[in-house]
Structure 1
Amino acid sequence: MVIYGGAHRGVMAQPGAPPPEAVRGGVGKTVFIVTVIIVAIIAFLGGIGVSSLIAPARARLTVGTNAPFPPFESYNDTTGQFVGFDIDIAKLVADRLGRDLVVRNFNSFDLLLTTVGQGGLDMAVSAITMSGSKGAERNATMDFSNWYYSADQAIVMRTGTNFTCPSGVCGQAQVLHHTIGVQSGTTSEGWVDTYITGNQTERIFRYADVVDEINALKSSVYTLMIIDEGPAKAIATGSAGALVVAGKILTGELYGVAVPNNDPKALVPVINSVLAEIKADGRYDQLITKWFTR
């Protein structure tokens, strides 16, 4: 703490005032008293600790994500901040806890899940499916909040690709014999591993990073990208016409916020309370409109 003081000024003798020598003893007494006061103040500050006079920094809530995966999470180059539906949910949880939100981005979805499961994060929010066989597998190593979003898978392809799905709904029969791109560790990969078997597995291209997956599709490395429906639409919209959504795969997945196994910091009740509150007061619908109706 910086204390500012004024400059000392000389004292001019006034007519009729005693000579300086006559008051020298008085000045000495004054200096002694001031010194005693200063020593007392220093002793007091030392006793209570100067640091106790400074407001403590707010605790942090460290959240992991795997961006880009719009509209759930992406990085805004202009603001230097992570944004998205998931990020807004995380901010609401941090606000409820009175903590500052710290976002850690992982280039690998697998690594994100491993890290939160081992307690390396307070929580992870990244369109993480908590239902179905993949959800059961994840529940063995981490805990989840109540679900906050329902999703299906979708197929993205290059514009002009000779591929169609009846009534916009795709399945095993449509994707067989096509080369397919998926992100490792996701339910997209889980779907192809279930329905694409035998020598057809040679047609599957797996990527740790969604950006690499998208670039490979644009470069004709493979034909069909299977990915969650929300990101599929965002990827096609942002491709300047190079990519389109061919149709959806009905998987009925539920997303949840993940926390370390056994919820050591008791975050799940807080997250569930926030989710229930924003669904009741309309803020959840506002977030849906904000991120899914662009």
Structure 2
Amino acid sequence: MKRNTLIAACLGLAALTLGAAASADQLDDIKAKGELVCGTLGTSQPFSFQDASTRQLVGYDVDMCKLVADKLGVKITYKLLSVAARVPELNEGRVDILAANLGYSPDRAQQIAFSHAYYVSPQKLLVRKDSGLDTIESVNGHRVAATKGSSSEREIKRVLDKSQVLGFGDSSSAYLALQQKKVDAQFASELVLVRLQLQSPPTAPVSIIPKSVFDESWGLGVRKSEPRLLDAVNQALDGAEASGAAGQLFDKWFGAQTQYKLQRAFKIAPIAG
């Protein structure tokens, strides 16, 4: 009898242990170890980059990850990733969350879960000031430069269906083609175009067509198998929006006191689609 009682007790303890293990998830693991590992690019100013004077990793994405970690009550650790490695590093469990210029697309949403949009990137057209082009419609039918293989290249082909869209290796190459009059417009995110406009020589001024072709929502990425972590991340973002902290972070990195002088035209909210 005693032996049977002992066996039953052991089986019960094993069942409890297995039950606890089954119920544990990434959010529990993060809180248990006291650390959130955030994957970011480290080469994308002002989102995540190395400060020249302090050598510290700083930026909008960096601060957003820190905001989430603070809400969870854990410390933050950053891991620098390449663009191509973002999704694999997350899904293989080497980072807990991504804050890495991660634009939403239906295809990407099949691979990872997206948080609420913490940044919305207007996609716009840059033209030479002497071109006479000042609307999206006026550009249609002209040669347009875009970054090869990007979602921007795919979308601008769809929107400007009469234009010849030429792909370039990066935004700098596309901008050079614009200045050399090999193309009549360049398509990219507003922030990229503002940087190029600031670098434009006085002898060859450029302007950004004000209306955006479309707006791209960016989310923090988590694994699709971690709904509790996703919910906790969204709660942190929603809280930052309600308290004004999210707006303050935008102003810190993009606002009137920065070189970009952008206005925040979005609020943190679920991504449509």
**TM-score exceeds 0.5:** yes
- Asked if residue 76 in structure 1 is aligned to residue 39 in structure 2, the reply is no
From the superposition, tell whether residues 243 and 190 of structure 1 become closer, same or farther in structure 2 (CA, over 3 Å): farther
How far does residue 114 in structure 1 lie from its aligned partner after superposition?
4.7
Counterpart of 1:162, as a letter, is: S
Match of 1:250 in 2: 213
Q: CA deviation at 1:154?
A: 1.0
Alpha-carbon offset, residue 153 of structure 1:
0.7
Q: What is the aligned length?
A: 222
Name 1:12's counterpart in structure 2.
Answer: none
For residues 219 and 36 of structure 2, the distance between their equivalents in structure 1, rounded to whole angstroms, comes to 21
Matches within 5 A, 1:57-136: 59-65=35-41, 67-68=43-44, 70-97=45-72, 98-106=74-82, 108=83, 110-130=84-104, 135-136=105-106
Q: CA deviation at 1:267?
A: 2.8
How far residue 272 of structure 1 moved from its aligned partner, in angstroms, is 0.9
Structure 2 CA distance for aligned equivalents of residues 160 and 101 of structure 1 = 45
Q: 1:67: Cα distance to partner?
A: 3.1
1:231 to 192, 198, 201: 192
| Counterpart code for 2:78 | V
Percentage of pairs with the same residue: 21
Relative to structure 1, is the Cα distance of residues 279 and 60 closer, same or farther in structure 2, using a 3 angstrom cutoff? closer
The residue aligned with 2:166 is 204
Q: Report the residue type matching 2:192 in the other structure.
A: P
Q: Name the CA distance, whole Å, in 2 between partners of 1:221 and 1:119.
A: 45
Contact 2:149 2:167 in 1 (8 A): no
What is the CA-CA distance between 1:161 and the residue it aligns to? 5.1
Alignment correspondent of 1:165? 134
User: Hey, what does 1:17 align to over in structure 2?
Assistant: none
8 A Cα contact 2:40 2:61, kept in partner = no
Q: CA RMSD in A?
A: 3.3
User: 1:281, CA displacement in angstroms?
Assistant: 1.2
Query: What's the TM-score, normalizing by structure 1?
Result: 0.62
Please name the residue that 1:182 is paired with: 147
Which runs of 5 or more structure 1 residues have no equivalent in the other structure?
Answer: 1-56
**Alignment partner for residue 156 of structure 2, among 185, 192, 199?**
192
Going from structure 1 to structure 2, the CA distance change for 1:102 and 1:221 (only over 3 Å counts) comes to: farther
Change (3 A) 1:217 1:93: farther
Q: CA deviation at 1:95?
A: 2.8
Counterpart of 2:9 in structure 1 is none
Higher mean alpha-carbon deviation, 147-156 vs 113-122, is at 113-122
* TM-aligned CA distance change 1:246 to 1:122, over 3 Å: same
Tell me which structure has the larger Cα radius of gyration.
Answer: 1
SS at match of 1:147: strand
Query: TM-score under structure 2 normalisation?
Result: 0.66
